[in-house]
Amino acid sequence: MPDAQSTYSTGKRKTAVARVWIRPGSGAVTVNGRTIEEYFERETSRMVAKQSLEILEMLDKYDVTATVKGGGHSAQAEAMRHGIARALTTEDGERRRSLKRAGHLTRDDRKKERKKYGRAGARKRFQYSKR
């Protein structure tokens, strides 16, 4: 994974965490030791994961290696996007403005609200009875 010329960053979304390394290369993306096509079955998840590179038009200039944990596939893809964006800005600060405008540097921390005791769910209340 890590080597001398790679840049590391962490991306997060909900409960998903992506550890991302980028290095100059041909555009190969590896997720948990598998290619991106093998790991993310949905085309939309693959597209979301690569969005940060796409905005800067650098899809074929960097190799990306990532390890993702937690959450679902959609949240993992968004965590990867966040991590790639952060790694790209670490490497060159000039990229920050366009990535920030696209919303890729903002960590989306919305998580599932916990269930409350005595209730059916997080927010559901008992039925109101007038009489």
* Spatial strand order in the sheet of 7-13: 7-13, 16-24, 62-69, 29-31, 34-35
Q: Identify whether the C-beta of residue 30 lies closer than 8 Å to the C-beta of residue 65.
A: yes
Q: Mean per-residue pLDDT for 95-107?
A: 93
Cα 102 to chain centroid distance, Å, stands at 14
pLDDT at position 100? 94
- What's the pTM value of the predicted model, to 2 decimals? 0.88
Q: Mean per-residue pLDDT for 2-19?
A: 90
Please tell me the distance from the alpha carbon of residue 127 to that of residue 96, in angstroms, as a whole number: 50
- What's the fold here for domain 7-102? Ribosomal Protein S5; domain 2 (3.30.230)
Sorted by where each begins, the domain ranges of the chain are 7-102
Residue-wise pLDDT for 25-54, tens only, equals 999 999 999 999 999 999 999 999 999 999
Residue-wise pLDDT for 55-69, tens only, equals 999 999 999 999 999
pLDDT at position 8? 96
